[in-house]
Structure 1
Amino acid sequence: MSNTKNIAFIGLGIMGLPMAINLTKAGFNVTGYNRSPEKVAELVAAGGTGATSIAEAVAGADVIITMVPDSADVEGVVSGEAGAFAHAKVGALWIDNSSIRPDVAARLSNEARAAGIRPLDAPVSGGEAGAIDAVLSIMVGGDSADFADAEPVLNAVGKTIVHVGPSGSGQTVKAANQLIVAANIQALSEAVVFLEAYGVDTDAALKVLGGGLAGSKVLDQKGQKILDRNFEPGFRLALHHKDMGIVTSAAREAGVILPLGAIVAQLVASTVASGDGALDHSALFRGVERLSGKSEVAALSAS
Structure 2
Amino acid sequence: MPLTDTKVGFIGLGLMGSPMAANLLAANATLTIYNRTASKCAGLAEKGASVAATPKEIAQCTGTGFIILCVSDTPSLKAAICDTNGVLPGLVHGATVIDMGSSSVTATRQLANIVEEAGGRYVDAPVSGGEAGAKAGSLSIMAGGKPTDIERVKSVFDVLGDSLTHIGPVGTGQAAKVANQAIVGATVGIIAESLSLAKAAGADLDRVREALMGGFAASRILELHGQRMIDGAFTPGARATTQKKDMRQAIELAEEVDLSLPLMRQSRDLWIKMVDEGLGDLDQSGYFQFVESDQEPKT
Q: Please, what TM-score do these two structures have when normalized by structure 1?
A: 0.94
Structure 1 CA distance, aligned partners of 2:288 and 2:256?
Answer: 30
CA contact (8 A) 2:23 2:137 kept: yes
Q: What is the match of residue 90 of structure 2? A: 87
Identity over aligned pairs, percent: 36
Alignment pair present for 1:41 and 2:45: no
Structure 1 counterpart of 2:81: 78
Distance in 2, Cα, partners of 1:142 & 1:294: 51
Which letter maps to 1:256?
L
Correspondence for 1:31? 32
Equivalent residue, structure 2, for 1:13: 14
Q: CA RMSD in A?
A: 1.4
Match of 1:300 in 2: none
Matched, 1:199 2:188: no
Pairing of 1:245-260 with structure 2 (within 5 A): 245-260=248-263
Please list, as runs of the form range in 1=range in 2, the aligned pairs for 1:98-113 lying within 5 A after superposition: 98-113=101-116
| Deviation string, structure 1 residues 143-174 (Cα, Å, up to 9, x no partner) | 11000001110111111111101111111111
The residue that corresponds to 1:234 in the other structure is: 237
SS of 2:44's partner is helix
* Aligned-partner Cα distance in 1 for 2:205–2:243: 26
Q: Any conservation in 2 of the 1:9–1:32 contact (CA below 8 Å)?
A: yes
1:57-107 C-alpha deviation (Å, 9 max, x unpaired): 222311000010111100101113311011021101111001011000000
Task: Report how far residue 294 of structure 1 moved.
Answer: 6.8
Equivalent pair of 1:99/1:243 in contact (CA under 8 Å): yes
How far, CA to CA, are the matches of 1:16 and 1:2 in structure 2? Answer: 18
State the match for 1:244 in structure 2.
Answer: 247
Give the AA of the match of 2:217: A
SS at match of 2:163: strand
Instruction: Report the equivalent of 1:208.
Output: 211
Contact 2:27 2:159 in 1 (8 A): yes
Give the gaps of 5 or more residues in structure 1: 296-303
**Which residue number corresponds to residue 265 of structure 1?**
268
Describe the shift of the 1:9–1:294 C-alpha distance in structure 2 as closer, same or farther (beyond 3 A). farther
What secondary structure sits across from 1:156 in the alignment?
Answer: helix
Q: What per-residue deviation string (whole Å, max 9, x for no partner) do you get for residues 223-280 of structure 1?
A: 1211111111111111111111110111011111211101111111110000011111
In 2, the alpha carbon distance for the partners of 1:31 and 1:211 equals 46
Distance in structure 2 (CA, Å) of the matches to 1:275 and 1:189: 18
Conserved 8 A contact 2:56-2:88: no
TM normalised by structure 2 equals 0.95
Partner of 2:51: 50
Q: Alpha carbons of 1:13 and 1:226: their partners in 2 closer, same or farther (altered >3 Å)?
A: same
Which residue in the other structure is 1:129 paired with?
132
Secondary structure of 1:14's counterpart equals: coil
Contact 1:7 1:28 in 2 (8 A): yes
Residue 158 (structure 2) aligns with: 155
- CA distance in 1 between counterparts of 2:129 and 2:115 reads 27
- In the other structure, the counterpart of 2:70 is 67
- Alpha-carbon distance in 1 for matches of 2:26, 2:3: 14
How far has the Cα of 1:44 moved from its partner?
1.5
DSSP 3-state at the match of 2:14 = coil
Deviation at 1:2, TM superposition (A): 4.9
Counterpart for residue 168 of structure 1:
171
User: What is the identity, as a one-letter code, of the residue corresponding to 1:69?
Assistant: S
Cα distance per residue 1:94-123 (max 9 Å; x no partner): 110010110000000000001111000111
Paired letter, 1:283: G
**In structure 2, what is the Cα distance between the partners aligned to 1:256 and 1:64?**
34
Whether contact under 8 Å (2:144, 2:173) holds in the other structure is: yes
Task: Give the corresponding residue for 1:299.
Answer: none
- CA distance in 2: counterparts of 1:134 and 1:160, whole angstroms: 10
Q: Read off the aligned partner of 1:162 and give its amino acid letter.
A: T
What is the total number of aligned residue pairs between the two structures?
295
Q: Which residue identity is paired with 2:5? A: T
Q: What is the identity, as a one-letter code, of the residue corresponding to 2:129?
A: G
